[in-house]
Structure 1
Amino acid sequence: MTNRSQMPRRADAPVRLHLPAAERERQIIEAAAQFFSDNGFEGQTRELAKTMGITHSAIFRYFPTKDALIERVYEHVFVARWDSAWKALICDRSLPIEARLIQFYSEYTERIFDARWMRIFMFAGLKGHPMTHRYVALIRNQFIKPCCNELRADLALPTIATVAITPREEELFWGLHGAVFYLGIRTFIYEVRTSPNRAEVIRDQVQTFLAGAPRILREAVIAPK
């Protein structure tokens, strides 16, 4: 009688390695990020398990719900790539504001310009997932608001503590952010050819923004009487 341990393994049978818990959890998060990037949040965790060659229950051993897994993917793909030092960079008045914006977008696009990041963000927005609102709030609080204050300082206008940010000036910075972000959308979502010189594109967008923004800010920001 043949011992089961001596029977040859089927060629298509998944190889289940006994990994440390932390490594298995990391592996699931990485695989889930790619899976949701490919399939959107409608993708089923049962299919994810199949692609990984593990049991469905193995996923729920680490993540009790699909939402819990998506939350960890958000932290891994989005939050972990945000550098808390960027706010300090924007507020560093030893550098011209043009240099600060160019450096920020150079570093920021280096972190987020990949297909997985872009596709998950698009799927989340279409699904109405709260992660998009949280990420937009992160951009607003850590980048847009400090930028408004710094450009005001550059133009000798009242601080945002004195005069609240106006919708008009906030939209100016969202316009700049959207212009740079759209380069990633065209590259990784539309998959069309874009300029290979990203540094040049960023510099052009920032310089174009700064050529027009001061006039609008002087109109939009009215000091209290």
Structure 2
Amino acid sequence: MPPTASRSTAEKRRLDPKAREEAIVKAAIAFFAEHGFDGSTRDLAARIGITQPLLYRYFPSKEALLDRVYEEVYVHPWNPDWEPALKDRSVPLETRLTRFYQDYARVLLTYEWVRLFMFAGLKGLDFNARYLAFLRGTAFDLVVKEVRHERGLPLDEPIHEGEVELVWGLHASIFYMGVRRFIYGMPLPADLDADMALRVRSFLKGAPEAFATLVPPKPPRRRKKDIDQLINNT
């Protein structure tokens, strides 16, 4: 056996369990993004250079491995600092949204993120439903409330599905850029940050007006003079 092959085999054997597990997950992400979720664990193990029984020592089923892939690709990259930053009303709303979507686009617009999301939908896995529920709870409703605040609309009114759809439209436009690049093979805009700023500006030019048609306005505050007059007339 050539010396390089001997070293490679020895290195594989010496991997500690944590490193081995991480190597399997990393390889699984790349493998399923390329081949879809119909790809077999036997082929995945062969690609990694391990046996299928060894793979199952770390992940007892394909479903367990896919759960870990979901966590690595969709949950772990989420930055918990994004939510308090979106709520910081000392910063103009356009600036907050622009910064958020510029950062978010860097997470979203990757080969693995986009292709796994598409394959999961085609395969009928729950990746999409899980992630969109997570996104609704952590971002969509929050953005709705911040747009309402900017517009002077009531914050205690239940969130209207139409409002969520408007925010989802902004998200979808960003996701579609990934589809263009990693499904259709078309280039992304040369300046992503400038593109995100343009999309946010366009959203804020139209969405607040649309929100106002969906949410009852705040009742006008009565002035003290008006209250006194009302009392005198009763």
Q: TM-score, normalised by structure 1?
A: 0.91
**Aligned-residue CA RMSD in angstroms?**
1.8
| 8 Å Cα contact 1:112/1:118 also seen in 2 | yes
CA distance in 1, matches of 2:159, 2:36: 36
Output aligned runs, 1:90-169, within 5 Å: 90-159=86-155, 162-169=156-163
**SS of 1:157's equivalent?**
coil
| 8 Å Cα contact 2:108/2:175 also seen in 1 | no
> Percentage identity across aligned positions?
38
Aligned residue number for residue 212 of structure 1: 206
Counterpart AA for 1:45: T
Output aligned runs, 1:22-61, within 5 Å: 22-61=18-57
Question: How many angstroms does 1:202 deviate by?
Answer: 0.8
CA distance in 2, matches of 1:221, 1:178: 23
Aligned residue number for residue 188 of structure 1: 182
The answer to whether structure 1 residue 203 and structure 2 residue 197 are counterparts is: yes
**Per-residue CA shift, 1:102-150, capped at 9, x if unaligned?**
1001111112211111111110111111111110011111110000011
Question: How many angstroms does 1:218 deviate by?
Answer: 0.9
Q: TM-score, normalised by structure 2?
A: 0.87
Distance 1:10 1:51, change over 3 A: farther
**SS of 1:78's equivalent?**
helix
| 8 Å Cα contact 1:163/1:223 also seen in 2 | no
**SS of 1:17's equivalent?**
helix
Question: How many angstroms does 1:223 deviate by?
Answer: 4.8
Output aligned runs, 1:169-184, within 5 Å: 169-184=163-178
Counterpart AA for 1:190: Y
CA distance in 1, matches of 2:103, 2:218: 37
Question: How many angstroms does 1:168 deviate by?
Answer: 1.3
CA distance in 1, matches of 2:121, 2:90: 37
| 8 Å Cα contact 2:153/2:218 also seen in 1 | no
CA distance in 2, matches of 1:214, 1:76: 35
Number of matched pairs? 216
Question: How many angstroms does 1:201 deviate by?
Answer: 1.1
Question: How many angstroms does 1:194 deviate by?
Answer: 2.9
| 8 Å Cα contact 1:163/1:224 also seen in 2 | no
**Per-residue CA shift, 1:163-192, capped at 9, x if unaligned?**
111111111111111112211211122111
Greater per-residue helix proportion: 2
CA distance in 2, matches of 1:195, 1:48: 34
**Bigger Rg, structure 1 or 2:** 2
Give ranges in structure 1 of 5+ residues lacking alignment: 1-7
**SS of 2:148's equivalent?**
helix
Counterpart AA for 1:215: E
Counterpart AA for 1:201: D
Counterpart AA for 1:189: I
CA distance in 1, matches of 2:162, 2:70: 30
Counterpart AA for 1:203: A
Aligned residue number for residue 223 of structure 2: none
